[in-house]
Each structure stands twice: as structure tokens, then as C-alpha cells.
Amino acid sequence: MRGRLRVYLGAAPGVGKTYAMLCEGRRGLERGRDVVVGFVETHDRARTAALLEGMEVIPRKTMTHRGARFTELDTEAVIARAPAVALIDELAHTNVPGSRNVKRWQDIDDILDAGIDVISTVNIQHLESVNDVVQEITGVPQRETVPDEVVRRADQIELVDMSPEALRRRMAHGNVYAPEKVDAALSNYFRVGNLTALRELALLWVAGKVDDQLDRYRAEHGIASTWEARERVVVALTGGPEGDTLVRRAARIAARTKGADLLAVHVTSADGLAGADPASLARQRSLVEDMGGTYHQVVGDDIPGALLDFARGVNATQLVLGASRRGRFAQLFSRGVGVETTARSGSIDVHMITHDEAKKGRRPPARSRAALTRTRRSVGWVMAVAGMPVLTAALSPFRDVLSLPSEILFFLCLTVGVALVGGMWPAITAAVGGSLLLNWFFTPPIGQFTISDPENFFALVVFVLVAAAVSTIVDIAARRTRQAARASADAELLSTLAGHVLRGQAAVPSLLERMRETFGLTSVTLLERRPGAARTPDYQSDPDAWRIAATFGGAPPTCPGQSDTDVVIDDDMILAAQGGPLDAADRTVLEAFAAEVAVALRQERLQHEAEQARPLAEADKMRTALLAAVSHDLRTPLASAKAAVESLHNTDVAWSEEDRAELFATAEESLDKLDRLVANLLDMSRLQAGVLGVTPQPLALEEIVPRAIDDLGPLRDRVEGDISIDLPEILADAALLERVLVNLMSNAVRYSPPDKTVLITASWHGDHVEVRVMDRGPGIPPEAHDHVFQPFQRLGDRDNHSGVGLGLALSRGLTEAMGGTLVPEETPGGGLTMTLTLPISSRAVTE
């Protein structure tokens, strides 16, 4: 049995997630549960560390990477210990290369699979879906992220909340960071505005998760009534000209409550009673989405019922309808959708919005009079059963005045009317009943079921045949009309599905959600046969033979035999739906949805496999380039060094001291060049493989730049530095930053005129520092600025006789590995300026 995951979610560091997790662990111990600490980061906070006293802590696994020692969660030890609950901090943490998994959440997944409950923590800025929003708010990119779905799958999510002012007080009291970091943190990342925005993000994200849980609970317990936990405004669209007005009015209603949802729904009637202009619907759909709402489409014979079923399914609180476009005469015979919906709405508030098209009547296509609803069939039977006796009573006083043919015509008119209203069977019943009434009351001898005149007998027979023929024709026309309407509805649904896919919304959960709401189902599940599962006669009813690939809605079936409707996609995949059986016409459309879901699932898996294969392809490409470089560019310095050494080794030549010194210098220079080329090749290969070790730490530029200039050797005299001591510390890896600066400055010196110096300057801009290396060389065309960073090429101010074209490519790779950027710009007056941007060290507090 898989363990349960509980996650403490916070808006920012320091709100108390780890503290709350440890408190919960201690409560579990007091209740007698077997609780261990798998991994907890106290950040040197005394009150947090105090909670660890007396708790069993699983020793961490020590790993070495690039000469440095790191400690990580020992997943194997936790599984071997097999506690009831494991406390594991920092869900989004990235493990050291060489670990069992890349991310800690994957380690936790393995522990859950072992049947161990896990309690973990995560900050809102580490969720993948809001990563870009957080960067826009705070200006800080988050390199460690966790997919939202991992957190959403948690059995319990608890928000650890704290007001911005309270968190800043904690910071000021030294309860979060060391005293020397407090001022920088309060003035940068932990500003009141930043914390307020992050808090709102966390609250909204948790609200969405709670909303999903509420929908699942209501579906599992069959709760159809609306729970007004959150405002949801549903606007009904018919595709008519009033739609734009309704959408804008509904949007204004939703805007009155912060966080309210706007949903638009169009009911496609299977019996053809509702017609819609596809162009108008498409325009209205676009308007809804522009206003932040979502568009939905459902099928229903009963339009008010379908609207209310959808509204209750999404837990809507308000329903917006347009005033009827039917005239007063039509409203005498039917209350209309608006009145009927209002009468049956229950706890849902219904807004009837007036518009310019009200009471103007429907425009064609309006209603197909041939399509037979249940109401029309009922009216037909009433006319057949009650209408014939009433007509008989009405004609009896005129029996001596009217002839039998005239009386037959009256009965035939009523029978045709019954056929037009109720279809074939009520009309045939009316024809048979009418013939008996004509025989008894109007055919001599009166009062007997006998016919004395053969002509009267033939007249009655013709009456029955004509009535039956008319009834049959009317019924066939009604069926054909209904089939055409159904085909039109199905085509509209499939068109919506196609548009859904073309807009890039073909994600499996999204398609399953559309499927559930379209057919009014409680849950839709994609079941996949487990590899190796035996195909026994009853394997479709065996939960062990199937696994859930994707699901949406209430409690999913674990095998096809538990579903109300199942659609076979292929030998190994079945779509299982719950919520009542579907008719054959619905199954046709459902099969189209099922096929699209299967394709979307396969695309997701192929994309995942492609992402896994991409590093291998890049590595293969890199190896090919490395071989090309070794075969060409490394040969020159190697040949020069070898020639110098062989010359010195030759005893047949008497070298002067100056010659020997020159040969030694040539060999040394060639070997140094070879060493640099090999180092660049190895670092580039590590960058491509994602295993380059980076250790960011606060650095002072006024200390790094002079060291980098000294590393230039004889070229140092051609570089002029202008670095202010007032600049803030930056966050970078000292060794890598020095490599970047050396590469940039040596490249600039090499291609600047001999009488020109290279200038290196730095300036502070908000949350980052910009370092500029400016030369006066030939420069690079603007259109080639990005191309120059590709490895194994040379362009513009790079020559074609030395190096393997890695200098700038490696510099950009190292810079991005440190969280910075490197971009080329034109130097005013000619030349190239390389701008290196790095975050200031105070931003490190967010990690």
C-alpha cells in the first residue's frame, strides 16, 4: 500500500514550514507512531534545532562532487528502516550529481511507494506554474522547482501562513537569517510588497487545490446541491446576437467578488431544438477567454436541466441568462428556458438580462417542428385518446346533415394532426380508434360494428390506410430530422474538440475534463493494462490487471468492469466512464474523444522520452565536435611543442643559450595553449552534460577582477580596469567567474588594435551588477550576436587560426550556470562590448 504525503506550503522562507513539520512529527511520537527524521535543514535556527532533540534522525549520505563533500537524503536507509512516518524537508531540492534521483521529490516518491508516510515542505516560489510570476515579482529566478502535479497529488496540503509584517519582525529579531544578512534581506527580497504578492499566490494556489478536493468530495458523495464556498458565475450562450451583452454583464458580476470564476456554457440540443451560428459562438468564446473566463459545451435534450446540471457540477453560485427572444404568442404555449430554469434553480441565483433582441422572435434556424420531444409525444397520445371521442360527440348532432365521406374527412384531419404532433404510433392508434367510432356512430346500421354498404367499408379501409401512411411519413421525417440534428450536434462537438487541440490544449486532464462535462458524467478514467497482465476470461473485472493512466472527476473505477460505459481504444487501453450509460449516438462522439485522449497521452510520453533523449543527442553532437576539434585544432600546439622538444633533444646541433631559451618558451607556450584548450573542452562537455559543479558564494568584484587581469600574463598591460569599491557583493563561483573574465579579456585584447587598450568596468543596477569588457576590434554584426556563442565556430572578431571556437560559448555557459547572463553589444565608436550580468549576494537568501 502506498504511503500518504503531507506537504506544508509556505509563501516565503522563514514562515515556519520546517517548524510546523517537526511539531507534527513530535505529536505523532506522542501518539505512539514510529516517526523518524529523514532530512531536516534547520538553517541554524535554535528553536527549530531544539525540536530535533529526542527524535530519531536517519544519518545523511555523504557524497563527493568536484572535490567538495555534500550530504543528501539517504533514501535507501529510510526505506530499510521502514518507519511509519518520515520527515523530509525541502521537497524541491536538487540532489548532487550521482545521487539515486535528480530531485528530492523523486526520492520521496520512492519512499511513498515503499508504504511509508512522508511529511515535507515547499515554498510557493518553487512551484513550476508560478515560477515566472515569482521572478517577475521579485526579480529573482528560481533554479529549483517542482512540478505542480507532484504537490497536487499530496493527500494533505497545509498552508503555513504569516503576515508580511510578522515575517519581517522575525527577520529583524534574527530568527530567520544571520544578523549580517538581515538588512540586505529586508531591503530586497523581503520587502512588504514582495511578501504580500507571494502570500496571495500561495493562498490562491491552495484555494485551487481545495476547490479540486471539494469537487471530488461532492462527486464521490453524490452531492448535487450548490455549496457557495466560492463565487462562480455561469453565463448561458445560444450563439444569438445577445451573447456579447450577456458575457460582458456576467464578467461585471464576477468582477464584483475578488477571485470569482467566469464560465460560459452552450447547450447543444440533441433533438435539434436549438440552433446556433458557429461564427457567433466562436466570437463569443473568444470574448469569454479574453475576459479571463472559460468556455464549455454540453449536450442535453432538456436545455434548462442541462444548464442547471452543468452549473451544479461546477458548484456555480450564479447563472446569467438572456431574456427570451420568443414572442408573447409563443410564450402562451411554453414558459421558455429562462422561466423554467429559474423555477428549477434551487439555491443558484438566476439573472435574467434584458437585451435589444428580447421578444423579437427567433431567427431561423429556430425550432425543427418535426423533431419529436417527449412532450409532443405525450400531447399526441392525449389527442389520440381524448380527441377522437370529443370529435365524435361534436359531430353526432349533425349525423343527419353530414354524409359519411364528410365525417371521414373530419376524422382524417384529426388523425393527421395527431401524426404531426405525436408521430406514428399515436396517429395509428387514432386511425384505428377513429375507424371504430365511425363504424359505431356514423355507418349504418348505427350502434353496431357491421357495415351494410360495401362502399362505406372501402371508405373506412382507405381512411385507415391514409392515416397510417401519413403517420409513417411524419415519423420518418421526424427521425431523419432528429438524426440530422444529432449529426449537427456531434459535428459541433467534434469541431470544439478539434479547436481545443489546435489551441494547444490537448493535455490529458483537460480533455478528460471536457469529456466529463460534455456528457454529464461523474468521472472519466483512462485505464491501461499492466505489462504482463494475463488475459483471463474475467481480466476486465480484475483491478490488478489495470492501472489508472489518467482520471478526472469523482472516485475512478479501477477496472473496466466497474464502469457504466467503457470504450475500447486498443488492446491495452480502455476509457471508463461513470455517471450512467450512454446511447449509441453519444458513444460515437465519446469514441472520438477517447481516441484523442489516447493520442494526447502518447504524445506526452513521447515528449518525455524525447526530453530524456535530448541530452544524449546533445552529448553525441558534442562528442562529434570534440573529435573534429581534436583532429584539427589541438594538433597545432601539440606539433609545436613536440618540434621544440625534439630540437632540444637533438645533440647534433649546438644550440646557443638564446636559441635554447626560445625553444623552451615555444614549448611552454604551446603546452599552455594545449592545457587551456583541453580545459575548455572538458568544461564545455560538463556543461552540456549538466554535471559542472557550481558553488555560488558572495564575492567582491574588486578582488576578482585584478586576479583575472594577472592571469592574462603578458597581455595584462593592455587591460585597464575601473572597478569601484562601493559595489555590492555578487553571488558567483570565484573560479568560474575568473575563467569567464579571463576568456572575455583575452578575446578582447587579441582582436583590439595594438595601440588600443581593453576597458573593464562594473556598475550596480537594482538587484544585479553588470560587468562590461569593451574592445576596439572589428566587432560582430548585430545579426550574428547569438550565433557567436555556438561552440566550435569562429565569427567576426575571432580568427580562424587558433582555438576551437569555445571561448565565448564556454563563457556564456559558465555565466548561466552561475545564474547570470552574457550578451554582446556594440562599443560606441567601434568594437565589441561583452556585458556580464550577475545577481547581488543578498538574493542568495531566497534559496
Average of per-residue pLDDT across 161-188? 76
- Between 73 and 491, the more confident residue is 73
Average of per-residue pLDDT across 553-559? 84
Which of 191-205, 516-530, 674-688 bottoms out in mean pLDDT, i.e. has the lowest?
674-688
pLDDT at 337 over 50: yes
Average of per-residue pLDDT across 690-716? 80
User: Which of 113-117, 393-397, 463-467, 613-617: highest mean pLDDT?
Assistant: 113-117
Can you give the pLDDT at residue 348?
A: 85
Distance (Å, whole) CA 121 – CA 13: 11
Q: What is the largest CA-CA distance in the chain?
A: 154
Can you give the pLDDT at residue 206?
A: 82
Can you give the pLDDT at residue 285?
A: 83
Can you give the pLDDT at residue 726?
A: 80
| pLDDT band (50, 70, 90) for residue 692 | low
Q: What percent of the chain has pLDDT over 90?
A: 11
pLDDT at 270 over 70: no
| pLDDT band (50, 70, 90) for residue 790 | low
User: Which of 428-437, 474-483, 538-547, 756-765: highest mean pLDDT?
Assistant: 756-765
Q: DSSP alpha helices (H): ranges in 118-263? A: 131-138, 148-152, 164-172, 179-187, 192-220, 243-255
Can you give the pLDDT at residue 799?
A: 41
pLDDT at 150 over 60: yes
Average of per-residue pLDDT across 487-492? 63
Residues 160-172 have pLDDT tens digits of 988 888 888 887 7
Please list, in sequence order, all residues whose beta carbon lies within 8 angstroms of the beta carbon of residue 188, skipping any fewer than 6 positions away: 767, 840, 842, 843, 845
Residues 745-785 have pLDDT tens digits of 888 888 888 888 899 999 888 778 899 999 888 887 776 66
Q: Are 556 and 543 in contact (CB under 8 A)?
A: no
Assign 447 to helix, strand or coil. coil
Assign 93 to helix, strand or coil. coil
- Whether residue 365 is preceded by a cis peptide bond, meaning omega within 30 degrees of 0, is yes
- Between 841 and 690, the more confident residue is 841
Instruction: Tally Cβ neighbours within 10 Å of residue 435.
Output: 21
Residues 793-845 have pLDDT tens digits of 544 443 433 443 456 777 787 788 788 888 888 888 788 898 999 988 754 44
| pLDDT band (50, 70, 90) for residue 501 | low
Can you give the pLDDT at residue 5?
A: 93
Can you give the pLDDT at residue 436?
A: 82
3-state SS, 230-261, equals CCEEEEEECCCCCHHHHHHHHHHHHHCCCCCE
Can you give the pLDDT at residue 369?
A: 38
Can you give the pLDDT at residue 602?
A: 80
Average of per-residue pLDDT across 239-246? 82
User: Which of 180-189, 338-347, 678-687: highest mean pLDDT?
Assistant: 338-347
Can you give the pLDDT at residue 70?
A: 84
pLDDT at 271 over 90: no
Which of 70-84, 132-146, 472-486, 658-672 bottoms out in mean pLDDT, i.e. has the lowest?
472-486
DSSP 717-783: GGEEEE--TTSPPEEE-HHHHHHHHHHHHHHHHHTS-TT--EEEEEEEETTEEEEEEE--S----GG
pLDDT at 55 over 60: yes
User: Which of 101-115, 223-237, 414-428, 431-445: highest mean pLDDT?
Assistant: 101-115
- Between 588 and 401, the more confident residue is 401
Can you give the pLDDT at residue 694?
A: 72
| pLDDT band (50, 70, 90) for residue 685 | low
Assign 822 to helix, strand or coil. strand
Q: Report the chain's mean pLDDT, rounded to a whole number.
A: 78
pTM score: 0.41
Which of 15-24, 208-217, 394-403 bottoms out in mean pLDDT, i.e. has the lowest?
208-217
Residues 356-378 have pLDDT tens digits of 655 444 444 333 334 466 777 78
Average of per-residue pLDDT across 554-581? 82
Please list, in sequence order, all residues whose beta carbon lies within 8 angstroms of the beta carbon of residue 650, skipping any fewer than 6 positions away: none
- Between 839 and 209, the more confident residue is 839
Can you give the pLDDT at residue 551?
A: 86
Question: Phi and psi dihedrals of 481, rounded to 5?
Answer: -65, -40
Can you give the pLDDT at residue 796?
A: 42
| pLDDT band (50, 70, 90) for residue 97 | confident
Can you give the pLDDT at residue 623?
A: 62
Can you give the pLDDT at residue 507?
A: 64
Q: Are 239 and 266 in contact (CB under 8 A)?
A: yes
User: Which of 21-30, 448-457, 815-824: highest mean pLDDT?
Assistant: 21-30
Can you give the pLDDT at residue 844?
A: 41
Q: What percent of the chain has pLDDT over 70?
A: 77
Can you give the pLDDT at residue 279?
A: 66
Length of the chain: 847
Q: Are 294 and 264 in contact (CB under 8 A)?
A: yes
pLDDT at 424 over 80: no
Can you give the pLDDT at residue 240?
A: 78
Which of 69-78, 379-388, 472-481 bottoms out in mean pLDDT, i.e. has the lowest?
472-481
Among 741, 786, 742, 792, residue whose Cα is nearest residue 762: 741
Can you give the pLDDT at residue 364?
A: 40
Can you give the pLDDT at residue 803?
A: 40
Distance (Å, whole) CA 19 – CA 41: 10
Helix, strand, coil shares, percent, the chain, to 5: 50, 15, 30
Cell matching residue 618: 546533445
Q: DSSP alpha helices (H): ranges in 314-453? A: 328-333, 336-344, 374-382, 388-395, 404-422, 424-441
Can you give the pLDDT at residue 802?
A: 40
Q: DSSP alpha helices (H): ranges in 651-700? A: 657-689
Distance (Å, whole) CA 258 – CA 417: 56
Average of per-residue pLDDT across 149-167? 87
Instruction: Indicate the angle between helix axes 657-689 and 584-632, nearest 10 degrees.
Output: 170
Average of per-residue pLDDT across 297-322? 83
- Between 299 and 839, the more confident residue is 839
Distance (Å, whole) CA 170 – CA 182: 10
Give the sign of the dihedral formed by CA 462, CA 464, CA 469, CA 470.
positive
Can you give the pLDDT at residue 843?
A: 45
